[in-house]
Amino acid sequence: MPELKVGIVGAGIAGLSAAIALSRAGHTVEIYEKSHFKNETGAAIIIGCNGTRILREWGFDFEKAGAMDYNQMRRIRADTIAIDSVDHFTNMEEKYGDRWLLFHRADLHAGLRAIVEAQQASVKIHLGTSVADLDAEQGILKLASGEEVQKDLTIVADGARSELIERVIGRPYPVNKSPMSIYRFFQPFEKVSTHAAAGQFFENQPSGFTTFYKTEVVRLGLLLTAYPCRGGKLLYVGLVHPTKPSEKELEEWDHPASYEDVISSAEGFHPAVQAICEDATDIKVYRQMWRDPVETLTKGKAILCGDSSHLMLPTHGQGASMALEDAIAMEVLFTGVRSPDQAIARTDLFNQFRLPRVSAVQTMSNKMMGPPDKMISEVRRYYDGAVPGLKAKTFSEEYNDFFFSYDVAQEARNLVHGR
Ligand SMILES: Cc1cc2nc3c(=O)[nH]c(=O)nc-3n(C[C@H](O)[C@H](O)[C@H](O)COP(=O)(O)OP(=O)(O)OC[C@H]3O[C@@H](n4cnc5c(N)ncnc54)[C@H](O)[C@@H]3O)c2cc1C
């Protein structure tokens, strides 16, 4: 029986993951990516056990990608440098069966690309190829060159500023811009860990988050988070700050910022905390964006996945893990599917299966800073399973149980084959 012909728009984490999944499900995949892979966002990323479980199943090379375990979270006052709390996450494998990991985004992307390229002839990547439009019912991708390609299944993985989302949900869906933006950059880990002032925070510490925050909330949410990646060679630093007037119209992830911008935002921080930023170069600023849940993830022969459909604030570090969950759900649902009609039925099943989970995670990520009862009652509109209690904090055991105990591949198998 012939396999399905699948077209994927976008080769970010979501698009590459979908390509791996659908190739493993036995189908022929073509990816259309408008860039030339030169500009993967320079940032680090955290992948929860729910995501690393999927990477492991695909044979991802964690060592080559320089993955670091997320072993602890320390919250430190930015002005007095008094340690407020330390949480240890050393039993992840024992409890959830997999690791909680920190990556340089480019390393995660390269590791996924290596798996795509190892899928022999079943995946073809067209770089520098922009998709201008989509006919979701017919499965037609209209390339910017004017060429049209007909597919049995189309995957829309064109990211946060998706233009094709409109073709699936039937209306434009602009992003919401948060009042907060992030400066981000990397420092050589050794430079910071041996620094006379800043070294005290990193020397001989287990890998994980070190977060400095202002308790006097003069400037809501001002905090600096640092964590290692790339096998401990780099320290990623993100400084969340109120968006400045000059940053209000930013659309890109990679807008350049200056050292002066960073230091002026870290005003009032202890000199040892400011020293983490010393002589930082290649600084980028990005305005945080989010969307409320969409009403559908699918239409006809099209599936939305990744940030195109469930863009969320990075509160729980679950954006990329949701893209991985989308992908392995496709792998299970489309294995053995050979006829276009069956593919349409499975597309619909994907929507029923994924929408409650991604909408819940999106709402938890976007509304965590507001009143908890309001956030949870909104989650309830989409999701009727057990949820964390009202007092549960980000990265607490209750949230970890919610995110990490869920085995999406197993749930999808139960759905297709019965429990
Ligand atoms: C600074 C930052 C920090 C983050 N931190 C975390 C974290 O710690 N943990 C976490 O889980 N998530 C995090 N996220 C979110 C996470 O990175 C995303 O959820 C994840 O990468 C999925 O992205 P994507 O593939 O859907 O979109 P993208 O990575 O944006 O990829 C979309 C791709 O589509 C291409 N494209 C767009 N339009 C077209 C078109 N018309 N034709 C062809 N190609 C097109 C683009 O060039 C791009 O390559 C972070 C995001 C950012 C920006």
Give tens-digit pLDDT for 311-337: 999 999 999 999 999 999 999 999 999
Q: Residue 89: CB within 6 Å of ligand 1?
A: no
Atom 35 in ligand 1: residue holding the nearest Cα = 10
According to the model, what pLDDT value does residue 137 have? 98
134-180 pLDDT per residue, tens: 999 999 999 999 999 999 999 999 999 999 999 999 999 989 988 88
Q: How far is the CA of 293 from the centre of ligand 1 (A)?
A: 17
32 lines ligand 1 (CB under 6 A): yes
- Is 66 a pocket residue for ligand 1 (Cβ < 6 Å)? no
pLDDT tens for the chain, 419 residues long, are 569 999 999 999 999 999 999 999 999 999 999 999 765 567 999 999 999 999 999 999 999 999 999 999 999 999 999 999 999 999 999 999 999 999 999 999 999 999 999 987 789 999 999 999 999 999 999 999 999 999 999 999 999 999 999 999 999 998 998 888 999 999 999 999 999 999 999 999 999 999 998 765 444 557 899 999 999 999 999 999 989 888 888 877 788 999 999 999 888 899 999 999 999 999 999 999 999 999 999 999 999 999 999 999 999 999 999 999 999 999 999 999 999 999 999 999 999 999 999 999 999 999 998 899 999 999 999 999 999 999 998 889 999 999 999 999 999 999 998 86
Mean pLDDT of all residues in the chain? 94
Given a contact cutoff of 8 angstroms between Cβ atoms, the answer to whether 179 and 241 are in contact is no
Q: What number does the ligand 1 atom closest to the CA of 45 have?
A: 8
Give strand pairing partners of 368.
Answer: none
- Residue 247 has what pLDDT? 86
Query: Residue 246 has what pLDDT?
Result: 85
pLDDT of residue 41: 63
Question: Whose Cα sits closest to atom 14 in ligand 1?
Answer: 319
Atom 13 of ligand 1: nearest residue by CA position? 319
Q: Name all domains of the chain by residue range, CATH numbers in brackets.
A: 5-34+128-174+291-417 (3.50.50.60), 179-288 (3.30.9.30)
Distance from residue 12's CA to the centre of ligand 1 (Å): 5
Report whether residue 189 contacts ligand 1, using a CB cutoff of 6 Å. no
**Ligand 1 probe mutation, 13, 134, 240, most atoms within 8 A of CB:** 13
